[in-house]
Amino acid sequence: MRTLPNRQLSRYFDRYNVLEGTAMPMQARQLNWINVKDYLDKEPRYIELCQQLDLVIMDMQSWLKHEKDITETITLAISSGYRCLEWERIRKRTGQSQHCIGAAVDVYPVSSFLSQNNLISVVSHLYNKYQKVWPGGFAVKQPSYDSSGKLKNIGFLHFDSRPVKVRWQY
């Protein structure tokens, strides 16, 4: 499936993170690799976005250390990065997504040491901070719970580098 060598795009993210994402269905990943030449045209935009997200990660780590006295390693994982046009059309989308043009990622915090409640507080902190200052598109998917109140997922944040400030929630 992987037809190109991996490449570090920034301190914390590499090519495979952007092309495959942790939450992307196998079909989407396979289509991204089939259409990898289209992705390569957009990789410079992803490099820039990933470098901006490196600063978010460093800020997040500093906040945890100073505000929560947590020094364990924490980072952001990409759940969905690049999405090829073919996948977007299968999903009956317009293909106008920032993900298709190399300008968007959905991320969530990961740590082998922090509890899910602490990870939720990280999502909340990043949302409260970056909804005000992120220059492009920014959104949040809040944590979700099942009918018995059990946590299903911690949520995620969408960051994109469109030229205008846009905010929404999923």
Which residue, 106, 109, 117, 112, is CA-closest to 141? Answer: 106
| Residue 130 host element (H or E) | helix 116-133
**pTM higher than 0.85 for the full model?**
yes
| pLDDT tens for each residue of the chain, 170 residues long | 799 999 999 999 999 999 999 999 999 999 999 999 999 999 999 999 999 999 999 999 999 999 888 888 899 999 999 999 999 999 999 989 999 999 999 999 999 888 898 899 999 999 999 999 999 999 999 999 999 999 999 999 999 999 999 999 99
